[in-house]
Structure 1
Amino acid sequence: MRAPTQAIPGYGIRKLAVVASRQVHLVRHGEVYNPDHVLYGRLPEFHLSPLGRRMAQAAADELAARERPVAALIASPLVRAQESAAPISAALGLDIRTEPRIIEPRNHFEGKVMEKAVKNPINWPWLVNPLRPSWGEAYRSIVARMTEAMTDAFALPPLSEDEPGDVVMVSHQLPIWVTHLAIAGERLWHDPRQRRCNLSSITSFEQVDGAFREVGYSDPAAPFLESAVDVGAV
């Protein structure tokens, strides 16, 4: 970015200092290897599929191509997020910091195949209130912990006086999407099939006068989505 100039009487033209704005990028993990099509939630040992690794690399490549300095790389403790952060770590030369506040929400249906579980009357009491939702962590609770983690990310030490450096946070679809909805001032309950948060997508935010503002969404793994078996939208 070229620095703006200002005419100073008797002194001609001088360049004005430009201080960059920090952005926080919420990156969704890549495709998970899930041959049984269960809701994995917070269950351990659900790794990326080979295609998911390619997706994660696509996200890393795009972040590197932006040529925006990055001050920190943060990831959910779940293995799929850690594995998705690994190529970003390699591309940007940053260690991965683990942040439990950006983890997937808990869910009653973990380990179950949803198409079968919703037909079983024993599970119906967990489906009575989709507005909360009744089967897991409340949407407002997810938003609260995500925005708290983002607030702390914006407050991290800058790279230099003139360059704060961005922060990359590798998380999960539902936490990223409800954070988007909250910041956009939209209702939190929604149809999971309508989420604009594809595998390895990047949703970017700035802070203006202490408030979050979404400034971009990109889909670097879009060429791989047609081949994806597990898109994880529940």
Structure 2
Amino acid sequence: MGTMAATTIHLLRHGEVHNPEGILYGRLPGYHLSERGFEMAERVGAVLSGQHEIREIVSSPLLRARQTAEPLARLTGLEPTIDHRVIEAENDFQGQKVSKDRLLRSPAMLAKTWNPFLPSWGEPYHKQVLRMKAAVTSLRRRVDGGVGVVVSHQLPIWVTRLHAENRRLWHDPRSRECSLASLTTLTFDGHRLVDLSYAEPCRDLLPEKAVPGA
């Protein structure tokens, strides 16, 4: 009896965004990759296409994710599928500069931080996990025995990893291991997750400071 081929799903975080004002942009439209972000997208596209025969690419509808998917799409000849389930998390602070000092000066902003375990300022972590899992499951079934790529965002990818590793979902944002253009890779045997790994193909291109959760 032959052995069933493993199915690999790469969760790719988008590249660096042009954001000189340091805004928490969330789901706001129009935020595009920076020059360095395009370089990241080219590199990770080359890495993935060189290592795997990709069967399908799925992307968040946001511009920065679609731009990150473009080099891989060009190299593989695949047309990315837009999936709203892998979009950035909702955040009540989007469009603002967020800092500890600013929170303390704004009672309205501070009031939204009453429950960091939920979190109370945005989309609950468990809801992000549910939609990401649904998207990954759909893709896993379509590429059964092959490789698929999901281009998404830091927080949805990170909580998906936490859930897969049976870790609590609430966390310090500074602890997230999900840098720009990084790969969180899920390997399945049938429907069963058998391995999770993480890689940073663009480590040398990472900026010293980046807006968390983008």
Where on the TM-score scale, by shorter chain, does this alignment land: which range? over 0.9
Match of 1:129 in 2: 115
1:198 paired with 2:179, answer: yes
CA drift at 1:104: 0.4
Quick one: which of 49, 52, 77 aligns to 1:93?
77
Equivalent residues, number: 212
Q: Once the two structures are superposed, what CA deviation does each residue of 1:163-211 show, in whole Å capped at 9, x if it has no partner?
A: x321100000000000000000000000111111010001111223533
Rounded Cα–Cα distance in structure 1 between residues aligned with 2:76 and 2:42: 12
Q: Once the two structures are superposed, what CA deviation does each residue of 1:107-152 show, in whole Å capped at 9, x if it has no partner?
A: 1001000015413112111000000000000000000000011110
Contact 2:153 / 2:213 at 8 angstroms: preserved in 1?
no
Q: Once the two structures are superposed, what CA deviation does each residue of 1:1-41 show, in whole Å capped at 9, x if it has no partner?
A: xxxxxxxxxxxxxxx75542110100000000011101100
Match of 1:145 in 2: 131
Q: Which has the larger radius of gyration?
A: 1
When structure 1 is superposed on structure 2, of 202-211 and 78-87 the one drifting more is: 202-211
Rounded Cα–Cα distance in structure 2 between residues aligned with 1:189 and 1:216: 21
Match of 1:82 in 2: 66
Contact 1:26 / 1:169 at 8 angstroms: preserved in 2?
yes
CA drift at 1:96: 0.8
Contact 1:106 / 1:137 at 8 angstroms: preserved in 2?
yes
Which consecutive segments of 4 or more residues in structure 1 shift more than 3 A? 16-19, 227-234
Query: Taking structure 1 as reference, are residues 22 and 157 closer, same or farther at Cα in structure 2, changes over 3 Å only?
Result: closer
CA drift at 1:217: 1.2
Contact 2:4 / 2:189 at 8 angstroms: preserved in 1?
no
Q: Once the two structures are superposed, what CA deviation does each residue of 1:50-81 show, in whole Å capped at 9, x if it has no partner?
A: 00111111211110221x22110000000000
Q: Which amino acid aligns with 2:199?
A: S
Contact 2:159 / 2:169 at 8 angstroms: preserved in 1?
yes
Contact 2:11 / 2:184 at 8 angstroms: preserved in 1?
yes
Return 5+ residue gaps in structure 1 as ranges: 1-15, 159-163
Rounded Cα–Cα distance in structure 2 between residues aligned with 1:210 and 1:21: 10
When structure 1 is superposed on structure 2, of 122-131 and 204-213 the one drifting more is: 204-213
What SS does the corresponding residue of 1:215 show, helix, strand or coil?
strand
Match of 2:199 in 1: 218
When structure 1 is superposed on structure 2, of 119-128 and 190-199 the one drifting more is: 119-128
What SS does the corresponding residue of 2:132 show, helix, strand or coil?
helix
